[in-house]
Amino acid sequence: MQIDPRASKYRKVSYRLLRIRPREVLMMRQDENALLEKYLRAWPPLVDREVTDGAERLVMEIEGDEFPIALLRNAAPKTCDAFVRKLPLKGEFIHAAWSGDVIRMLDSFELPEIKDFENGTYYLAPGDVCYTLGHKEFTIIYGDCDPRMPYGAVREVVFGIICERLKDFQKVGRLIRVAGARKFTIKKEK
């Protein structure tokens, strides 16, 4: 069904409000807009994975392979600030035991100033760069996952995205799964 944007019973709604990436503006009836507003007050916002133009980038190097990470400063500004203060970051990645296609930093990783789940979700996507509040973990998703511990689901703060070479990163994630730990460094892009 085509919606006539000139019809007075329809109103433009910003995709920014919906926190999804549009190609065009959504047309809604005014009563639908009120319903959506009510929904947004009752439920947490959708996770924001939008990489803005000019987004700050980091470089993650895993034993010779480099992968750019775009920070999601609009969605998780406190977590981004806290993470950048820890740079350069060096350590080893190991494979997660419970969650699926996830690698994590071997050592405990603490961002003590982070107290809330800004841009938090239980539903992650390949390329998500995350901080696991309460578990002191720095994790990166490379494929299908269901973040959890033996007691149940775990919520993650998504503060960055691997923005290029995701297929190559997925190969590295699988290699870590079958061959073991890999050294890494993350630093600001020059």
* Residue 15, in any domain of the structure: yes
Whether the model clears a pTM of 0.75, i.e. scores above it, the answer is yes
CATH number for the domain spanning 113: value is 2.40.100.20
Both 36 and 78 in one domain: the answer is no
Both 87 and 175 in one domain: the answer is yes
* Residue 50, in any domain of the structure: no
Both 85 and 178 in one domain: the answer is yes
Q: How far apart are CA 89 and CA 187, in angstroms?
A: 7
Residue-range definition of the domain harbouring residue 32:
10-42
Residue 175 in 3-state DSSP? helix
pLDDT digits (tens, 9 = 90+) for 36-88: 778 778 877 788 999 988 999 999 999 999 999 999 999 999 999 999 999 99
Q: How far apart are CA 1 and CA 130, in angstroms?
A: 40
Both 62 and 136 in one domain: the answer is yes
Amino acid at 122: Y
Which tokens sit at 2? 């085509």
